[in-house]
Copies of this chain bind each other. A is one copy, B any other.
């Protein structure tokens, strides 16, 4: 069914390959997180909180690459399930610092283990030099894209 390829080959486009890799990573993460009753965004939120306790709603949103509105509803759900806690009123300004509960920490531990295995698999075909090169390359892309 695949017709003969004309014009530019998608397989040599950095943008397309980046999207393809990101999509594959997301699929792989969803696959291992689903049995644990987790989604990628929920995991990202918990992981952020574990590494940077006390993050606010807006900061979590930026870290998970979603809007603060989306993170807001997600945080309410996580709070209702007892995975995170937020003070009833802001200690300073309007910012509500969020923290993991012991239950949240346990749930995260399982999810984090599964995600780490996916990441190991993703890097399995790369040498150590390539792995560090990958970090440099991706960082360079991010800063270049952010620069307006």
Contact = CB atoms under 8 A, between A and B. Distances in A.
A14 B52 contact: no
A141 interface: yes
A51 B12 contact: no
Interface of A: 1-3, 5-15, 17-29, 47-48, 50-56, 59, 63, 65, 95, 115, 118-119, 121-126, 130-131, 133-147
Contacts of A133: 130, 133, 137
Question: Majority SS of interface residues in chain A?
Answer: helix
Contacts of A20: 65, 138, 142
A73 B139 CA distance: 36
A6 B51 contact: yes
Contacts of A135: 12, 14, 17
B6 A119 contact: no
Q: Which 9 A-B pairs have the closest CB atoms?
A: A22-B22, A24-B145, A125-B140, A17-B138, A23-B65, A7-B51, A21-B138, A21-B141, A28-B145
Contact of A18 (B2, B25, B130): B25
Count chain B CB atoms within 10 A of each CB in A52, A123, A144 and give the residue with the most: A144
B140 A118 contact: no
A115 B146 CA distance: 15
Given A6-B53, A11-B139, A125-B143, 10 more contacts: A2-B59, A9-B51, A10-B47, A13-B119, A14-B134, A17-B139, A17-B142, A18-B21, A122-B144, A133-B137
